Structure 1
Amino acid sequence: MKSAHDLVAAAKQRIEEVALDGAEQAVRNADLVLDVREPDEYAAGHLPGAVSVPRGLLEFKLSATPAMTPRDLKVVVYCKSGGRAALAAASMKDMGYLQVVSLAGGFDGWQSAGFPVVRPEQPTFD
């Protein structure tokens, strides 16, 4: 039986990852930046311009959203540390997407490198 770690390792063998030193350029050049973390993680902070599509809904959301269906979109996928993004990138590759990269190190790496993070303002009830 394979573990989640085994599945992530296998996915990483099939996909392209972009290292943090090329991450900003990859995000700038992307047509679509996908945050595949859970909604509460996205709400706590995300990459500028990122669209929230939780990993569990990815294939359904991609299939149902016309703006996300072109297979030649330049896509950067990320999660917290890289595992879910690797699985998502492998799934997108299986769906026929041609230009998908996973962000090595994920959101944690991006944030640790000092790259910009969007943190939506929460309403106050004073």
Structure 2
Amino acid sequence: MKNAMDLVSAAKARVAEIPVSEADAAIREADVLIDVREESEFANGHLPGAIHASRGMLEFKLSSTPALASRDLKVVLYCKTSGRAALAAAAMQEMGYLNVKSIAGGFDGWVAAGKPVAKPELPSFG
């Protein structure tokens, strides 16, 4: 029986992973940057310009959002460390998406490299 890490390893063998050092250029060239972490993780900080679609809802969001329907979209995905993003990229490939990349090291690698993080503005009730 396969465990989660077996599935991640198999996905990483099939998808394009880019190092954090190449992420800025890939994001600039991409049509969409997708954070596949959970909503609470996204709310605590995310890559600037990212949209949120948790790993568990990704296929449904892609299928129901016309702006994300083109199989020619250039997509960059990330999660906390890269496992969920690799699984998400593999799922997108199975759906027919042709240009999907994930960021090796994920959000943690991005932060460790000192790159900018966006945090949602909280309303002021004062």
On whether the aligned pair clears a TM of 0.5, the verdict is yes
Aligned length, in residue pairs: 126
Counterpart for residue 16 of structure 1: 16
Report the identity percentage.
62
Task: Tell me, yes or no, if structure 1 residue 2 matches structure 2 residue 13.
Answer: no
C-alpha RMSD of matched pairs (Å): 0.9
Task: Tell me, yes or no, if structure 1 residue 100 matches structure 2 residue 107.
Answer: no
1:40-79 aligned at under 5 Å gives the runs 40-79=40-79
TM-score, normalization by structure 2:
0.97
**Would you identify which runs of 4 or more consecutive aligned residues in structure 1 move more than 4 Å?**
none
Counterpart for residue 27 of structure 1: 27
Letter in 1 for 2:17: E
Task: Tell me, yes or no, if structure 1 residue 89 matches structure 2 residue 80.
Answer: no
Segments of structure 2 that go 5 or more residues without pairing to the other structure are none
Letter in 1 for 2:18: V
Q: CA deviation at 1:116?
A: 1.2
Q: Distance in 2 between matches of 1:53 and 1:22?
A: 23
Task: Tell me, yes or no, if structure 1 residue 123 matches structure 2 residue 120.
Answer: no
SS at match of 2:57: helix
SS at match of 2:121: coil
Segments of structure 1 that go 5 or more residues without pairing to the other structure are none
C-alpha distance after superposition, 1:56-112 (max 9, x if no partner): 001011011000010011000000000000000000000000000010000000111
